[in-house]
Chain A
Amino acid sequence: MTFIPASEKILDIGNPDRELSYSQAIQEAMALAMEADPRVILMGEDIGTYGGAFQVTGDLIHRFGEDRVMDTPISELGGAGVAVGAALTGLRPIFEFQFSDFATLAMEQIVNQAAKLRYMLGGAVSVPLVMRFPAGSGTGAAAQHSQSLEAWLAHVPGLKVVQPATPYDAKGLLLAAIADPDPVMIFEHKLLYKMKGAVPEGHYTVPLDKAEIRRAGRDLTIVATSIMVHRALDAAAALAEEGIEAEVIDLRSLRPIDTATIVQSVKRTHRLLCVYEGVKTLGIGAEVSAAIAESEAFDFLDAPIARLGGAEAPLPYNPELEKASVPQVPDIIVSALALAQGRL
């Protein structure tokens, strides 16, 4: 799948058509940052010789040594806290959770410490910390290894939360996160790690606060996140055959949300469908819907806002149940058709 390149300025891009996988793109971003800045270190479980549970750090230990690619013991709370302390005092840690689910063990340090230190100390410090969270379902790993908890962290002022959907963004958002003085949480999708796409060589950044229109359309707006961007694009292609032109927006950043891009789009299309993998209730779709309801786009709506999200249940193991628990392309098509044909 090819994407309209992100609109921001690209520096030293070399061959712009080079393809990398999403995980290679992340690895390249880390390597570039580590070469450029000795303060950048990687921390996480089995990220050294093992190369990371999803092989994202790969061979970086051979390039940068174990002082900079640090295997932590299985100690999420302590490890996250060490990363916070190091960020506070001059290092630039990139902390990998082996699965995003295990961030639940580290919530104290993320939510009470990393997010709040700067504010509580009256602006006297910053916490330039990056955390990476392999998230999402589809691997048959069941309820404790498949969650999409990004909305939890997006609820916390002091954190920035992004979800790259493409290899290009995976690299650019990570480089932007490393350069950012505040804690940035990056939710990666496990099923996207092998996905290939154009990734320029060298250093470039993708802004941490901008959504991206992936497909233009006039009949409805689909706001999607992470892997749902791809499913929405597949659905949009099918809808086009029915004569319905869906605009697909990759939300990309959950905190802050790029309300302006969504509002502009809905003012043109008059219909909104939100698609995300996290549990539907109190999820990112609620926030996007509210942003429209509170904006001037509200008056332009020709139909109620629709949301498609994860089931109100833990993720099951059985593959059919697992698929049924999160939005799939046919679900998006059905909802979009109902919305566009005024059946909602």
Chain B
Amino acid sequence: MSKNMKELPGTPLSGKELKSEKVITFKWRPNAKYAWSAGIAYGRFLDELKAGRIIGRRCSRCERIIVPPRMFCEHCFVATDEWVYVKDTGTINTFSLSYLDADANRIKDPILVAVIDIDGASPGVGILHLLGNVAPDKIDVGMKVKAVWKPPEEREGSVTDILFWEPLED
């Protein structure tokens, strides 16, 4: 507020007054629904998850193995060349402990989110997933982890066919 202004112009309104409908408002819930087709690369990737395997694509120009797979290499801008199975083990590239859920509700036990560089894929290439069976204060960058899969009969061709990644015991 400027020095010369003694009070704010307008009519003050509290959140309570707004909710009490003393103020005219218009409510609207959009009817916006979508269904995305998975396409060739994601389709195969999800199918393979159902079978308990992780698959990537190799770019013969830069030699990268890309997971999750893509039909083109975004760096070389050429079509990728072949399917390559990679391991279900990897290394934590980065992680975070989320104390808010997707709707911003505060949660007691944090959601353990991590980017995991997959063994067999190129360095710096990995998947975004969850960590589990680990105390939050024990997680660190560089930690080796292994996928914990859903039982085969419960898998449905989704990234959640892997429940989470747990520390890999040597």
A binds B: no
Interface residues of A (CB under 8 A from B): none
